[in-house]
Structure 1
Amino acid sequence: MPRFAARTLEALVTLWLLATLCFVLLRAAPGGPFDSEKAAPPEVEAALAATYRLDRPPLAQYGAWLGDVLRGDLGPSFQYPDYTVNELLAASLPITVTLGLAALALALLLGVPLGVLAALRAGRWSDRLLMFAAGLGLAVPKFVAAPLLILLFAVSLHWLPAGGWDGGWRGAVLPVLALALPNLAYCARLTRASLLEVLEADWVRAARGRGLGGARLLFVHLLRPALLPVVAWLSPALINVVSGSAVVEQVFGIPGVGRHFVQGALNRDYTLVLGVVLVVGAAIVVINVLVDALRGRMDPRLGGE
């Protein structure tokens, strides 16, 4: 229990520092959320500033915003005056979560078997081909992979839509592929390296010497220790999916959290950017806790960390 309380306190302090740093950087950046309203009469500008508390000193703005956050209110959006940040995130977060979890599931469902196949055929042409493809997948960034997927499957083959979001599976295929490709490649390489290390262990040689082999040796004895590094990698993989959603959602025109973050930063929508930072930061904290718990169940030796 003391450990849980300490981790909870650490997570809250981390979120507070993250939000504070983001608040300071946003206010320090040149420009403001209503620079396009320069032609408006002075009284209109003053009314806008008063409505959004921009007429107060920065420290007073920070205190008022932090008080609202503690009450669960992320404030009004500057660029979407008919919506609050809570409403925007409530509509966009399920889209980002759906795409991210689908991308990670695809990376695991394909990456682990491909890594196992490469390890079992280490040094052969199939292993070299798989690792070359994995290296290529890691080398191509998402902002390059996404347009290439659009050119191939939407423009050339006309199989899938080039962008937009209607909640259907066809509109999700290309964004999920763009998000999944680098994680799939890394998962395959990590699984291969881990399984090769396990295969060299003395206890594996002893098991083979006693006649144990084939599928039973692989699925009952080898996969669990070989997948421990993959489980540890899940935390940065999920973070990579979250950060990559900003690029992918922008390219495909998907109204997710990542796109709101990019648009909010460009438009100096302070409350929207800060809301996204808090939600994503909280998600990362929860992800780290869950992954640590999963590692502890798979390897009891980690329970005392």
Structure 2
Amino acid sequence: MRAAPRLLRLGGRLLEAAITLWLLGTLCFVLLRAAPGGPFDTEKAAPPEVQAVLDAQYRLDQPLLLQYLGWFGDALRGDLGPSFQYPDYTVNQLIANALPVSALNGGLALLLALLFGVGLGAWAALRAGGWTDRALMLLAGLGLAIPKFVVAPLLVLLFAVTLHWLPAGGWGEWDNVVLPVIALALPNIAYCARLTRASLLDTLSADYLRAPRARGLSETRLLFAHALKPALLPVAAWLSPALINVVTGSAVVEQVFGIPGMGRYFVQGALNRDYTLVLGVVLAIGALIVAINVLVDALRGWMDPRLEQG
């Protein structure tokens, strides 16, 4: 009997995910077609016969509704179409090559943000009001205030140009990963540290901790044994917007460091009106965000079973 409500919730989440992706793809399709210009508009116009062949090849000679229905039918079969900008590749091939790159950078950035953010937040909570706490929160505030398009060039200037410790860009070696991951992780480390500190301070002042505190448990042991797991519930809920932050930030970071990831393809596709590439990247990122939201909900349900019952 308990399995039935879980199956219903799972079915509801899958239906919600499908509707979300459909709306996302449809809105992106309409906005791309509404933008001025086209994928083959250049300073030197192509001969009319060449333009006609290109329009027929990419269905641009059809009415807008037929273009949408054709794209939607192909997308349902998993075919995202050919790329306008990279004619030798399909969108599926470009995404298959770019997704592991962006996933590696984003995954490492989130892991770094969680490790340092939770650690620094817990350290600040145990020393609340002291100079260590104030210094860490000041640094966290600076980390939130400085945008990624400023952080990334500063990292290049310091570690690549001045110190010559790391390469300024490129991809293929382990040291190419360091600076992009740091640039993506810094704002998330700052936010995670502030969130962890605030949540731990609330948890450590809860009534249910009076008994173990009266038994003589130190604040450090009290934190790890009783307070840390419930205090991390807000951090688990923050993982979804953190992922969105990493995805949106990757467009800037991958451009700065010349990384062949999803963000760079999205920017290049938008600048060149590559309709199919932009739509494919949007759908891939949307599906990833939906999947992460489902995993985060499951994680929060494990940490607090009352959420599952609700």
Measure how far apart 1:37 and its partner are: 7.1
- 3-state SS of 2:129 partner: coil
- 3-state SS of 1:160 partner: coil
Aligned equivalent of 2:107: 101
For 1:291, give the aligned amino acid.
V
Measure how far apart 1:5 and its partner are: 1.0
Aligned equivalent of 1:6: 12
Q: Percent identity over the alignment?
A: 74
Measure how far apart 1:200 and its partner are: 0.9
Counterpart check, 1:271 vs 2:293:
no
Counterpart check, 1:203 vs 2:235:
no
Measure how far apart 1:38 and its partner are: 4.3
- 3-state SS of 2:70 partner: helix
- 3-state SS of 1:35 partner: coil
Measure how far apart 1:214 and its partner are: 4.4
Counterpart check, 1:224 vs 2:224:
no
Counterpart check, 1:238 vs 2:248:
no
- 3-state SS of 2:42 partner: helix
- Once residues 39 and 245 of structure 1 are traced to their aligned partners in structure 2, the CA distance between those partners, rounded to angstroms, is 34
Deviations 1:99-147 (A, max 9, x none): 0000011111111111011001011111100000000000000001000
Aligned equivalent of 1:189: 194
- Pick one of 59, 64, 70 that aligns with 1:64: 70
Counterpart check, 1:118 vs 2:146:
no
Aligned equivalent of 1:83: 89
- Once residues 100 and 121 of structure 1 are traced to their aligned partners in structure 2, the CA distance between those partners, rounded to angstroms, is 31
Tell whether the 8 Å contact from 2:25 to 2:279 is kept in structure 1 after alignment: yes
Tell whether the 8 Å contact from 1:143 to 1:248 is kept in structure 2 after alignment: yes
- Once residues 169 and 152 of structure 2 are traced to their aligned partners in structure 1, the CA distance between those partners, rounded to angstroms, is 10
Measure how far apart 1:64 and its partner are: 0.4
Task: Report the TM-score when normalising by structure 2.
Answer: 0.96
Task: Report the TM-score when normalising by structure 1.
Answer: 0.98
Give the unaligned 5+ runs of structure 2: 1-6
Deviations 1:159-189 (A, max 9, x none): 11111111x2200100000000000000110
- Once residues 13 and 5 of structure 1 are traced to their aligned partners in structure 2, the CA distance between those partners, rounded to angstroms, is 12
- Once residues 102 and 40 of structure 1 are traced to their aligned partners in structure 2, the CA distance between those partners, rounded to angstroms, is 45
Tell whether the 8 Å contact from 1:119 to 1:195 is kept in structure 2 after alignment: yes
- Once residues 37 and 153 of structure 1 are traced to their aligned partners in structure 2, the CA distance between those partners, rounded to angstroms, is 40
Tell whether the 8 Å contact from 1:137 to 1:182 is kept in structure 2 after alignment: yes
Tell whether the 8 Å contact from 1:89 to 1:276 is kept in structure 2 after alignment: yes
RMSD over aligned Cα, in angstroms? 1.0
Tell whether the 8 Å contact from 2:84 to 2:276 is kept in structure 1 after alignment: yes
Measure how far apart 1:6 and its partner are: 1.3
- Pick one of 152, 156, 159 that aligns with 2:165: 159
Measure how far apart 1:39 and its partner are: 3.0
Aligned length: 304
Counterpart check, 1:212 vs 2:198:
no
Measure how far apart 1:203 and its partner are: 1.6
Measure how far apart 1:211 and its partner are: 2.1
- Once residues 17 and 271 of structure 2 are traced to their aligned partners in structure 1, the CA distance between those partners, rounded to angstroms, is 28
Deviations 1:14-34 (A, max 9, x none): 100110000000000000000
Counterpart check, 1:138 vs 2:144:
yes
- Once residues 214 and 37 of structure 1 are traced to their aligned partners in structure 2, the CA distance between those partners, rounded to angstroms, is 69
- Change in Cα spacing, 1:43 to 1:37, as seen in structure 2 (3 Å) is farther
